[in-house]
A and B are shown apart, each in its own frame.
Chain A
Amino acid sequence: MYKYNEFDEAAVRSRVAQFRAQVQRRIDGSLTEDEFRPLRLMNGLYLQLHAYMLRIAVPYGTLNPAKMRQLATIAERWDKGYGHFTTRTNLQLNWPRLKDVPDMLEALADVGMHSIQTSGNCVRNVTADHFAGAAADEIEDPRPIAELIRQWSTDHPEFQFLPRKFKIGITGSPHDRAVIRSHDVGLRMVRNAAGEPGFEVYVGGGLGRTPMLAQVIRDFLPQADLLPYLEAILGAYNLKGRRDNKWKARIKITVFENGLDAFRADVEERFERLRSQWSGVDQDILAEIRPHFAPPAFRNAPVDSYEAFRAANPVFRAWTDTNLHEHKVDGYAIVSISLKKHGATPGDATSDQMRVMADLAEKYGHGDLRVSHEQNIILPHVHKSDLPAVWQALREAELATANIGLVSDIIACPGMDYCSLATARAIPIAQQIALRFDELKVEHEVGPLKIKISGCINACGHHHVGHIGILGLDKAGVENYQITLGGDGTETASIGEKMGPGFAASEIVGAIERLVLGYLEIRRDAEETFLECVRRVGLEPFRAFLYEQEETADAA
């Protein structure tokens, strides 16, 4: 993975020293909260319901064992021994004390990590396909480009005070695992007819209060033109984006209000001017970045022992059926480690679990770990002959739940258990749904189904792109949950549609159960997934599952 050069290292260290002095001045009273707040946010430090929260950047979700171990140590030493992996593939610690944060940042800097630009109206952590560099369907590894964007956007003097935050997502595969169309800018790596590498560029996506899917602004952008083109987009947005209204400040509204064609014309005109000013130094930097992401030295070994173990052990087999994905190299597999044990908090890992994952990556995974936006951890390169050992170790650490992509693999934001913006809780709903379906023993029969839960309209839990989306609201002082159906975050993206009146916390699990069991009744056959079924029959049959029973009960 990318290793800091001396300039990166010096920059991060000086930011820590700066922040240490700022915290000192806040505690001794020389800085007011109004003065301090923007400074702490620049360093990823929020004040939440019960405590501060430190959001640590995990650039494009990539970690190595040393970093993962350091996260474990930091969580143990200065927090409560666990961390929460988020849909932005970052890690949040929920209990730091203000005076400890500079030491925590210092410890992060020791392993080349930081919290810079994890908050504020700047370019946030770039997210990438969590199977990058490993997926069988990949055209090109997107991480060198993601790293180039990270370097370019970090402390970029023009883009520190955008109208609103700015999120970029990138995938190198035709199959979109990075939800690129929910981003302010989405990049899909493609080749043109001549076989040259470039991007299909999407702009104006975002969830939140006004969910919109990004649209294509450029169907082929040569790879070397990326940064000037991004500068053109950000420049146009910086000028045209609305600063008068927080709810209209994202680029999706700028594109919507100006019209895609007018916005594109502006971008193209800026791009023409900017391109000539780029000397090509970015391409030199990219060339320096690339070797950091060179594929590991893959092994060529027999896989018979794996096949034999698989045939003999049904529990292992079930895990391999759900938690493995096809690797581009024969004999290898991509392992998804579920942070969604039934009844556990989605995305949480204890320090001990982090260390187990780090050890496994080191021993069996070519030292590579990823955080997925679905709040799981990935070992992208595991030789199949090592899978039985990996699985055993995961089992001992309660990390071997065979549920990737199934009902209980739920995304849930922190919601009102932690977040000061929340209108309702999300975590307990996820826990109860997972436990219920585990009890029913149907999730393997149900097959691929994505449930995503947000604790307020900001939609950090991506509910709009959940096959079933759940949004927690405050309805006259009571938690209430609204269901959307038919959302999809992949290359066939769509925004889910509202079903009708919401459900009380005590009713929501039953409502989800009716939807899922109803699907089992009406699906064409076992091959038709939940999403395909919704697309074929429409919402009405599902509305009936949700609401008709209630009416009968009322009438009784």
Chain B
Amino acid sequence: MSRRFTPKVVSANHLVEGDAVWLTADDRWTRDMAEAELIEDEAVAQLRLLFAKGQPNTVVGAELVDAAKGTDGPVPTHFREAFRTHGPTNYVLGKRAQGLRSRGKIPGNETQNV
């Protein structure tokens, strides 16, 4: 029996900036995961991944990552992905410094927006 498909987003790192980006439904790359396209169908996921991999001069390492439906868009299900929406936890740098809201649960910070 094959494993049930869990919802995904397409994520990558930006080629020049190196930071985390997500693919939107209207084919843009966003730095706010909430704007990403939440893909609930496996075939669509593969197509979207191919589309992302077809932009090797914009992004690096495009892959499908588990996500879930949040109140205002997709949220990560794993803490590693939550950190990618948040930046490092030892300094306010990266996404937070750019005024972006963290998505998902940042361990140790239980008040975080989910």
Contacts and interface: CB of A to CB of B under 8 A. Distances in A.
A479 B79 contact: yes
Interface string B45-60: 0000000000011001
Interface residues of B, number: 27
A431 interface: yes
Given A97-B16, A97-B17, A478-B79, A50 B90 contact: no
Contacts of B78: 477
A47 B19 CA distance: 9
A479 B84 contact: no
A97 B18 contact: yes
B90 A52 contact: no
Interface stretch (A25-33, A241-249, A488-496): A25-33
Contact of B84 (A47, A50, A52, A425): A50
B79 A428 contact: no
A418 interface: yes
Interface string B66-83: 000000000001111001
Contacts of A345: 90-91
Contact of A29 (B57, B88, B91): B57
Interface in B16-51: 16-20
Given A416-B83, A427-B90, A505-B107, A50 B57 contact: no
Contact of A50 (B15, B19, B56, B77): B19
A239 interface: no
Contacts of A506: 108
B89 A425 contact: yes
A48 B83 CA distance: 12
Given A32-B56, A428-B108, A47 B89 contact: no
Given A27-B16, A417-B89, A49 B83 contact: yes
A95 B13 CA distance: 13
B81 to A, nearest CB: 10
A51 interface: yes
Given A27-B57, A33-B60, A417-B90, A51 B79 contact: no
Contacts of A99: 16
Contact of B88 (A26, A50, A96, A474): A50
A80 interface: yes
A107 interface: no
Residue from the set B15, B18, B19, B95 with the largest chain A CB neighbour count within 10 Å? B18
Contact of A418 (B15, B17, B88, B108): B88
A98 interface: yes
Contacts of B108: 428, 505-506
B83 A417 contact: yes
Nearest to B61: A47
Contact of A98 (B15, B20, B87): B15
B90 A428 contact: yes
B94 interface: yes
24 contacts: A26-B15, A28-B57, A29-B57, A32-B56, A33-B60, A47-B13, A47-B18, A47-B60, A49-B20, A49-B80, A50-B94, A50-B95, A80-B93, A95-B94, A97-B16, A97-B17, A98-B15, A98-B16, A416-B79, A416-B83, A422-B80, A428-B89, A431-B90, A477-B79
Given A50-B20, A479-B79, 11 more contacts: A32-B56, A33-B61, A47-B18, A51-B17, A80-B93, A416-B80, A425-B89, A427-B89, A431-B90, A477-B78, A505-B108
Interface of A: 26-29, 32-33, 47-52, 80, 94-99, 345, 416-418, 422, 425, 427-428, 431, 474, 477-479, 505-506
Interface of B: 13, 15-20, 56-57, 60-61, 77-80, 83-84, 87-91, 93-95, 107-108
